[in-house]
Structure 1
Amino acid sequence: MRQVIAVTALTGVLLAGAGCARQGQDPFAVGFASPAPAASSVTPTPTATGDPGVCARAKQTGSAAVQTYVRKLAEMLRAGATGDRKTEQAARRDAEAALAGWRDVLREQSARATDPRLRTLLADLATEVGKLGTDVKTIDETEFDRLQGRLDELCPA
């Protein structure tokens, strides 16, 4: 049960404004109040940094990666609780792959950013995402929350 609470807390930290909801009777089911932005967004809106494309890509990728990550963590915990090691390991690999993809996009967008504050922030976020794993007990929620808050300041809306 402690892991269920940790997954729920992690979701709240990683997706500012997104909520968790139980679905049916499954204690590991996770839902989101707001879906990931469409990848085919028209023109990104101006940002405090002047890097609308970088901001949009970083946020869209983060939203999609977090949804996949949390869904796979829940699947991993559910499989572990039932003793299904094969499914548990597959879900773990998928969760880790979602994080790796997110980390890579953050690094890529950091290199593209023209604003030095955004460049540094995205590099810091990439480092934090790189530290995340599938052990919910080891996640530094405070640091990640601080960095996410800075991203929201530099890339509003």
Structure 2
Amino acid sequence: MRRPLAATMVTAVLLTGAACADNDSNPFSVGFASPAPSATAAPGVSGTPTPTPTGDAGVCLAAKRAGSTAVQTYVQKLAEMLTVGRTDRAAADAARRDAEAALAGWRDALRQQSGRATDPQLKTLLADLATEVGSLGTDVEKIDEAEFDRLQQRLDELCPR
């Protein structure tokens, strides 16, 4: 009973963050992702193309988008793992592997963006976030939400809209 409750709590926390914040300022914006800005206008559409940000602004955007995608997959697969775990062990194991892969991809994206960042604070923060994400795993009882929230708040400060 404790594991499904813990998973529900983690899911609720992640989804609450999504509902309360804009996509570009919250990597936990699950299910509301907007398409990436295009460097060229769509055929038949007049107007000025929206350039993709570069430098630290581009680093921030890439880190946040990677988080949004990863958290969406992570929550979905974690819920699947807990839902089918009692009846279909193979499906639960596959969902666990997919959840862990989503976290690994997010960790790698944070490390990559940390390497691209020029601001020393942003570089360090992204490396710290990568370490935190890398330690998450699929045991929802071991997730340190307070530490993760603190790091997320620092990211929001360094990466304003």
TM-score by length of 1: 0.80
Secondary structure at 1:17's aligned position in 2?
helix
Matches of 2:17 and 2:51 in 1, distance apart? 23
Tell me which residue corresponds to 1:100. Answer: 104
Out of 58, 62, 68, the position equivalent to 2:63 is 58
Tell me which residue corresponds to 1:114. Answer: 118
**What is the CA-CA distance between 1:17 and the residue it aligns to?**
3.2
Tell me which residue corresponds to 2:46. Answer: none
Moved more, 111-120 or 2-11: 2-11
Matches of 2:60 and 2:126 in 1, distance apart? 9
- Name which structure has the greater RCO, CA cutoff 8 Å, separation 6+: 1
Matches of 1:37 and 1:114 in 2, distance apart? 26
Secondary structure at 2:91's aligned position in 1?
helix
**What is the CA-CA distance between 1:35 and the residue it aligns to?**
1.1
Tell me which residue corresponds to 1:79. Answer: 84
Unaligned runs of 5+ in 2: 20-28, 39-49
**What is the CA-CA distance between 1:4 and the residue it aligns to?**
3.5
Matches of 2:15 and 2:156 in 1, distance apart? 11
Matches of 1:66 and 1:4 in 2, distance apart? 18
Tell me which residue corresponds to 1:27. Answer: none
Out of 32, 36, 52, the position equivalent to 2:33 is 36
Is the alpha carbon distance of 1:13 and 1:128 closer, same or farther for their aligned partners in structure 2, counting shifts above 3 Å?
farther
* Matched residue type, 1:59: K
Asked whether the equivalents of residues 44 and 53 of structure 1 are also in contact (C-alpha less than 8 Å), the reply is yes
Identity of aligned residues (%): 67
Matches of 1:143 and 1:5 in 2, distance apart? 21
**Structure 1 residues 15-40: Cα deviation after superposition (integer angstroms, max 9, x where no partner):** 67314xxxxxxxxxxxx775123234
Moved more, 104-113 or 35-44: 35-44
Unaligned runs of 5+ in 1: 20-31
**Structure 1 residues 22-65: Cα deviation after superposition (integer angstroms, max 9, x where no partner):** xxxxxxxxxx775123234543569xxx6110000000000010
**Cα-Cα RMSD:** 2.3
TM-score by length of 2: 0.78
Asked whether the equivalents of residues 37 and 60 of structure 1 are also in contact (C-alpha less than 8 Å), the reply is no
**Structure 1 residues 109-148: Cα deviation after superposition (integer angstroms, max 9, x where no partner):** 0000000000000000000000001110011111001001
